[in-house]
Amino acid sequence: MDSCMLVVSLILEIIFIALFSSHPVVAANSKLFREYIGAEDKGVTFSDVPINEDVDFHFILSFAIDYTTSSSSPPSPTNGDFRVYWDTQNLNPSHVSSLKTHHRKVKVAMSLGGDTIANNEKVYFSPKTINSWVRNAIDSITDISRQYHLDGIDIDYEHFHEDADTFAECIGRLLFFLKQNRVVSFASIAPYNDDSVQPHYLALWRKYGHLIDYVNFQFYAYEKGTNISQFLKYFDEQSSNYRGGKVLVSFGTDGSGGLSPENGFFMACRRLKHQGKLHGIFIWSADDSMKDGFRYEKRSQTLLAKSI
């Protein structure tokens, strides 16, 4: 009887410590680092970017767009027929194969959509019908994924000609097919806090969130001069919006807004890590970071690789 009571007492003590201890719960932390690359045709290559072998590294090719690529006329929507718009001279299928041969833990994804196309024209999500867009998207994205030996897909539409429910249904059905047929092994979305953007992603999350592995939230779309307390508040708000999801923190090296490394980004990351909430870091983008020798990529990966 005494031994039974001792066991019960020990179990209760373990439960109490788990519930009320002030020590961090680190199980949710991740060593995931992600970086967008190739959108600005600045000649950046995979080999230019420093890779810490102690982190999980995702390159995200930017962008595949369902717009025409003819140089003789302005780009126009193609109803889900995606074409490659990233820097194919420096980021082609053989480069992806070589990268993966030399870095076994590195994975490569492609991002769909983006903000603008040639001559700064906005890229719109513009399907003719749900079924036709999904059918064309499945065919074209499967072809690109297999040609480039890709592992994942990222959704980064920022302008819309259709409502949130149509967007959710098109993207949700596409993700379901790609994962079900093992065309990709992971998927992410890249929303930001804007009344014309966020509702589309929240509709997608509500219906198809189980298919989305990471939320690349664009924290650099917040106002310039964001401080640490504001950033942590924004993080909590978006973690609530995408409840149960892995919301990654981010900053831009292109002079965009949000909490910059100079103003305390890495201090905020350490706080999140101490709380077991650091699901990963991503940067926009390698094209912009090249001029400074990728110093923040190195610092981000060092932080992720370290234990608390």
Direct distance between the N- and C-terminal alpha carbons of the chain, in angstroms, rounded to an integer: 41
Q: What are phi and psi of 117, to 5 degrees?
A: -125, -160
What digits encode the pLDDT tens for the residues 179-216? 999 999 999 999 999 999 999 999 999 999 999 999 99
Distance CA(166)–CA(105), nearest Å, equals 36
- Within a domain: 205: yes
pLDDT score recorded for residue 20: 35
Look at residue 120 and tell me if it is in a domain: yes
Q: What is the mean pLDDT of residues 153-159?
A: 98
Q: How many domains are contained in the chain?
A: 1
Q: Is pLDDT above 80 for 308? A: no
Q: What is the pLDDT of residues 271-292, one digit of tens each?
A: 999 999 999 999 999 999 999 9
Contact 183, 145 (CB under 8 A): yes
Q: Which 8-state DSSP code applies to residue 254?
A: S
Q: Is residue 16 part of a domain?
A: no
User: What sign does the CA torsion over 207, 61, 34, 143 have?
Assistant: positive
89: in domain: yes
Dist CA 270 CA 259 (whole Å): 14
Cis amide leading into 94 (omega within 30) = no
Look at 186 and 3; give whichever has higher pLDDT. Answer: 186
Contact by Cβ (8 Å): 123, 165: no
1 in any annotated domain? no
Catalytic residue numbers, as ranges? 158
Give the global pTM: 0.91
Q: What confidence score (pLDDT) does residue 6 get?
A: 39
pLDDT digits (tens, 9 = 90+) for 29-81: 999 999 999 999 999 999 999 999 999 999 999 999 999 987 768 899 999 99
Give the structural domain span for 187. 26-305
> Per the domain annotation, does 186 fall within a domain?
yes
Strands (E), the chain: 32-37, 56-65, 83-84, 107-114, 124-125, 152-157, 159-160, 186-189, 214-216, 247-252, 281-284
209-265 tens-digit pLDDT = 999 999 999 999 999 999 999 999 999 999 999 999 999 999 999 999 999 999 999
Instruction: CATH number of the domain at 67, please.
Output: 3.20.20.80
Q: Residue 143 and residue 273: Cα distance in Å, rounded?
A: 38
Under the banding of pLDDT at 50, 70 and 90, the label for residue 135 is very high
C-alpha to C-alpha distance for 242 and 28, rounded to whole angstroms: 15
Q: Computed from CA positions of residues 8, 12, 13, 14, in that sequence, does the dihedral angle turn out positive or negative?
A: positive
- Look at residue 20 and tell me if it is in a domain: no
Q: Is residue 217 part of a domain?
A: yes
At 106, give phi and psi (nearest 5°). Answer: -80, 135
Average pLDDT across the chain, whole number: 92
